[in-house]
Amino acid sequence: MAAAAWRRHAYSAAVDTYGDLDGAAEAASMLTHALADTTADGYKWQWRRFARYCEEEGVSALPAAPTTAVCYLGTVLRSGNVSPGSLQNYLSAINTRHASFGLPRPALGHLVHSARTGFARLFSADEGALPETRRPLPAPVMWRIFTVALNEPDFSGRVRWAALIAAFLVTRRTGEVLDLELGDVTVRPDGGVHSQVGFHKGAERRSRLERLTFDMHPARGGQYDPPLLVIRRLLADLHAARAPPSLILLAPPGMRRSPNSDDMKSWLQAALRRLGISAPSGVKWCSYSAAAAEPRL
């Protein structure tokens, strides 16, 4: 709903910008659909925050001056809960809105770059150290996850385990795995699993539009393969229950949407607590750690 609201507002503004030129309505539609729903949701929230700041300070939000963007970052720094690695989310919303109106992007250039460097230095000084480093899960940790997942008696738990394992087997963007529907996934004659992603990030920027396909290959020589067994067991459970092809494959019962990176992070942390495992000092394991895990043993 948030993405749809953002697009309606942006569409109306774009039509006003292009006036009565032939093709203006179609141009506005193309421009407002250049962002994925999740990106549009984030930009809507971030832009509203920036626009509210500008209104309170009595300065222009569109067009905005680079100095306005830097002072806005000052309020973000003051909040104390935004890491340097997340700053681009705040700046991209400002730049994208300006670019959509054919205006120069204010959150670029030397001034903003210097502010970001200072932001990182001040943030680290306040924390007393540089931020923890995001690292892949070690292979032995993933193997323990496989083993526990294979013996999970609770169906909802099996779905959450399967999400972590699918991200590991596919090793692509987490969202491409979490959006899979039951009808997108089939078991191959050799016991492997074939998947296709109907829509995926970046596809629209390619000259040839096509679905993304990937395969989860079975272990060589028929060796014991718990990761693939977890996925195949989930598929068998859902087909036995006559689940519709449109069912989100990795959404636990009761979830009416595709899982997201925050869900993956919480499931991973719950799995690690269950196993009694924690990351080494200075390292953090997050939603992408499973997808970037070391190659399986």
Instruction: Classify residue 252: in a domain, yes or no.
Output: yes
Instruction: Identify the band that residue 259 occupies on the pLDDT scale cut at 50, 70 and 90.
Output: confident
**Contact criterion met (CB below 8 Å) for 46 and 11:** no
Give phi and psi for 276, each to the nearest 5. 70, 35
Show which of 101, 127, 153 is a domain's final residue.
127
* Same domain (yes/no): 225, 264: yes
Query: Which of 53-62, 193-202, 233-242, 250-259 is predicted least confidently?
Result: 193-202
Which structural domain range is residue 102 located in? 2-127
pLDDT digits over 182-204, tens only? 998 899 888 888 888 765 555 55
Confidence at residue 9, expressed as pLDDT on a 0 to 100 scale: 58
pLDDT at 294 over 70: no
pLDDT at 296 over 50: no
Q: What's the predicted TM-score (pTM) here?
A: 0.63
* Same domain (yes/no): 260, 166: yes
Show which of 92, 127, 162 is a domain's final residue.
127
Confidence at residue 221, expressed as pLDDT on a 0 to 100 scale: 75
CA distance 35 to 15: 17
* Same domain (yes/no): 107, 151: no
CA distance 213 to 193: 11
Domain harbouring 254, CATH code: 1.10.443.10
pLDDT digits over 15-67, tens only? 566 667 777 777 767 766 665 555 555 567 788 889 899 999 999 998 899 99
For tokens 């720094």, name the residue: 77
* Same domain (yes/no): 97, 47: yes
